[in-house]
Amino acid sequence: MIKAGIIGSTGYAGQELMRLLMQHPECQPQVITSKTYKNNKYENVYGNFMNITSLECIEDEIDKLANDTDVLFIALPHGIASNKISESILSKTKVIDLGADFRIKDVSTYEDWYSVAHGNPNLLKNSVYGLCELNRDKIKRSNLIGNPGCYTTCSILSLTPLLKENIIDISSIIVDAKSGVSGAGRSLNLGTHYTECNESIKAYKIASHRHTPEIEQELSNVANSKVTISFTPHLVPMNRGILITAYANLNGKYTYNNIKEIYNKYYRDEQFIRLLPEGIYPETRWVKGSNYCDINFAIDKRTGRIIIIGAIDNLIKGAAGQAVQNMNIMFGFEESTGLNMIPGFPM
């Protein structure tokens, strides 16, 4: 049984981590931290843990936590983890950062998009982008994982096979993305108050969302060429879920079956990627509470474009579930351990 610590355990992603790890047969949370709820029992913060755990939120003392754990999950906003993690910490424990600090390899790109100085650029050369289906071998050998974001996970997985086989024009990619309100986190924000977002849908951070360079970085790695996309996120009045609709120009004439075989080539053995039957398209309701990514596509013969649809639960495959999947790979467990949840419906 490995020992885990969760830094930032009382945010939405931290709570999902706690829920998944409490049910994991090979790992148990030993220490949990919270700045807001320090010295509070976890069951008093989240009532769903009543009589399930007696753990109490403590202050974040990173050196002590590193000595007491085999793996540390950091579920904090950007700009914090890079100032906490050091070579010394990594010599004592493995780290999976759910924030953005170790996802983007170019320091200037990170600092431009996040408007904060990176606290430890030297660690970037050893960090691994933790998209499990694409970087499994690197994850096995790493002790520092940048756990991908929710929009990025769905976008990259949905587009990767097309880029690997060079069947789309990489200069034509448009990603229209939609997220449930939990993607904004648990902190108070006027834009996510019930009366502000219910019965409405809006685009936000147009041409400026911070997941853009992360998507471009990983798609460029896949394509072996610089990829620039148009990315527009939208806020939808639902609790959780990500749906992306991506558009790209095809480089030739293809049938649905031609392209389906390409997706099968890369994903047929991936437990958490579900390629849907022709004419059936992903919906957020069918992935809620699970680690699945559902994908399908259609070919628009009139315009010569392909339209790709992907859906995930932003708090599971887009955050905590993927973090546990990364942990499983790092420690040599069966990759699906603790993640075999059937999506919940209605939910």
Q: What is the pLDDT of residue 95?
A: 98
Q: Confidence class of residue 197 from pLDDT cuts 50, 70 and 90? A: confident
Give me the pLDDT at residue 182, please.
Answer: 79
Closest CA to 186 of 44, 37, 317: 37
Residues 41 and 157 occupy one common structural domain:
no
**Burial environment of residue 268 by CB neighbours within 10 A (0 to 12, 13 to 18, 19 or more):** exposed
What distance in Å separates the CA atoms of residue 111 and residue 114, rounded to the nearest whole number? 5
Q: Which of 313, 244, 237, 224 is nearest to 272 (CA)?
A: 313
Predicted pLDDT at 207: 95
Average of per-residue pLDDT across 313-322: 97
pLDDT band at 347 (very low <50, low <70, confident <90, very high): confident
Average pLDDT over residues 8-28: 95
Residue 202 CA: distances (Å) to CA of 167, 231, 240, 253: 32, 14, 16, 35
Over the stretch 26-75, which tens digit does the pLDDT of each residue have? 999 999 999 999 999 999 999 999 999 999 999 888 999 999 999 999 99
Q: Are residues 295 and 230 in the same domain?
A: yes
Residue 59 lies in a domain: yes
Confidence of residue 198 (pLDDT cuts 50, 70, 90): confident
Q: Say how far apart CA 191 and CA 316 lie, in whole Å.
A: 23
Contacts of 339 by beta carbon, 8 Å cutoff, 6+ apart: 20, 272, 291, 321, 324, 325, 328
Mean pLDDT of 309-320: 97
Within this chain, do residues 156 and 117 fall inside the same structural domain, yes or no?
no
Say whether both 295 and 228 belong to one domain: yes
Asked, for residue 133, whether it belongs to a domain, the answer is no
pLDDT at 188: 65
Could you read off the pLDDT of 91-149 as tens digits, one per residue?
999 999 999 999 999 999 999 999 999 999 999 999 999 999 999 999 999 999 999 99
pLDDT of residue 194: 78
Residues 58 and 160 in one domain: no
Question: Sorting pLDDT into bands at 50, 70 and 90, what band is 340?
Answer: very high
Same domain, 189 and 288: yes
Domain that holds residue 205: 151-312
Region 252-259 average pLDDT: 96
**Residue 101 belongs to a domain:** yes
Q: Which of 92, 109, 126 is the last residue of a domain?
A: 126
Span 157-169, mean pLDDT?
Answer: 97
Model pLDDT, residue 192:
76
The mean pLDDT of 288-298, rounded to a whole number, is 98
Domain CATH code at residue 262: 3.30.360.10
Which helix or strand (DSSP H or E) is residue 175 part of? strand 174-179
User: What span, in angstroms and rounded, lies between the C-alpha atoms of 96 and 146?
Assistant: 6
Residue 205 lies in a domain: yes
- Are 173 and 301 in a shared domain? yes
Tell me 41's DSSP state: B
Catalytic residues: 150
Q: How far apart are CA 318 and CA 266, in angstroms?
A: 20
Q: pTM above 0.75?
A: yes
Whether residues 172 and 225 fall in one domain: yes
Assess if residue 30 is contained within a domain: yes
Note whether residue 204 is domain-resident. Answer: yes
Verify that 165 and 278 share a domain, yes or no.
yes
Assess whether 66 and 193 both reside in one domain. no
Query: Considering its fold, how many domains does the chain have in total?
Result: 2
CATH of the domain at 78: 3.40.50.720
Residue 336 located in a structural domain: no
Residue 324 inside a domain? The answer is no
pLDDT tens string 86-97: 999 999 999 999
| CA distances for 280 relative to 34, 196, 276, 295, angstroms | 42, 33, 6, 9
Please check whether residues 29 and 166 belong to one and the same domain. no
One domain, residues 189 and 260: yes
